[in-house]
């Protein structure tokens, strides 16, 4: 297969990849990604279509928590295969009927080029974009990708939890346990990455004796955040 063909068949971006460069049309005008949000976190999320019940509840929920996302230096940007005028009319409807003004931009991917590039069209879900979520860090690296079917709305509080977890992990060099900060074993404490040498194991045992950390075993240690 020729190099050009390989490039054309390249799959969607994966966790750890840089978010692909693209210029998109939005309800806030033309935006260049990922440059627009360089230096901060952002969540790009797609929805099947404007003026649909589940999507409407999602946009309302995102907007209700928009201040919380911004407190975490995290921006939001939506996307669907609709035209700008459809997005604008839907935003107007949400504000008039539900009392929330959508403040974040929505990409109008009328020709489906962005959806194709990001792998948002899944055969089993028809020709509309699935409910996808891309979490991107300040270095424009994709840190998480999530997919949901059309019939299941997303949990925005989980996205806030994930951003908080990523930021804590990056700042403190730790891992985040299940259901953090309400983990069933260690509550709001964080996990120390496993030791990778005999010396590191000995150091970990000493730290446990000194009360700096607590361990179930040398490979599962935790400490206060």
* Residues 130 and 196 both lie in one domain: no
Confidence category of residue 215, pLDDT binned at 50, 70, 90: very high
Average model confidence (pLDDT) for the chain? 92
165 occurs within a structural domain: no
Lowest-pLDDT range, 53-57, 78-82, 109-113, 164-168? 109-113
Do the beta carbons of residue 24 and residue 33 sit within 8 Å?
A: yes
166 occurs within a structural domain: no
Domain end call among 102, 125, 154: 154
23 occurs within a structural domain: yes
177 occurs within a structural domain: yes
Question: pLDDT tens across 72-103, in order?
Answer: 999 999 999 899 999 999 999 999 999 999 99
168 occurs within a structural domain: no
202 occurs within a structural domain: yes
162 occurs within a structural domain: no
> If DSSP codes are grouped into helix, strand and coil, which group holds residue 25?
strand
* Residues 51 and 141 both lie in one domain: yes
- Per the structure, the complete domain to which residue 212 belongs is given by 173-225
* Residues 204 and 141 both lie in one domain: no
What is the phi-psi region of residue 112: left when phi exceeds 0, alpha when psi lies from -120 to 50, beta otherwise? left
Residues 11, 150: Cα–Cα separation, whole Å: 22
The answer, yes or no, to whether residue 104 has pLDDT greater than 80, is yes
DSSP state of 183: B
Domains in the chain, number: 2
Residue positions annotated with a catalytic role: 55
Question: pLDDT tens across 177-202, in order?
Answer: 999 999 999 999 999 998 999 999 99
Whole-prediction pTM: 0.90
* Residues 53 and 140 both lie in one domain: yes
**CATH number of the domain that 195 lies in?**
3.30.1020.10
């Amino acid at each position: 297969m020729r190099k050009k063909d390989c490039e054309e068949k390249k799959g969607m971006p994966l966790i750890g990849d840089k978010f692909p460069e693209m210029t998109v049309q939005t309800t806030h005008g033309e935006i260049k990604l990922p440059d627009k949000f360089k230096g901060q976190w952002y969540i790009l999320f797609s929805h099947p279509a404007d003026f649909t019940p589940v999507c409407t509840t999602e946009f309302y929920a995102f907007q209700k928590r928009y201040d919380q996302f911004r407190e975490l230096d995290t921006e939001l940007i939506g996307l669907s295969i609709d035209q700008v005028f459809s997005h604008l009319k839907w935003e107007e409807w949400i504000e008039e009927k539900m009392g929330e003004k959508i403040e974040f931009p929505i990409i109008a991917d009328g020709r489906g080029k962005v959806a194709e590039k990001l792998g948002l069209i899944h055969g089993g879900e028809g020709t509309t974009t699935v409910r996808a979520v891309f979490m991107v860090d300040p270095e424009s690296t994709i840190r998480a990708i999530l997919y949901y079917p059309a019939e299941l709305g997303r949990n925005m509080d989980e996205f806030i939890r994930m951003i908080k977890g990523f930021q804590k992990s990056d700042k403190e060099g730790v891992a985040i346990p299940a259901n953090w900060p309400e983990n069933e074993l260690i509550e709001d404490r964080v996990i120390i990455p496993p030791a990778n040498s005999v010396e590191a194991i000995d150091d970990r045992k000493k730290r446990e004796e000194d009360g700096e950390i607590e361990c179930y075993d040398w490979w599962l240690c935790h400490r206060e955040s």
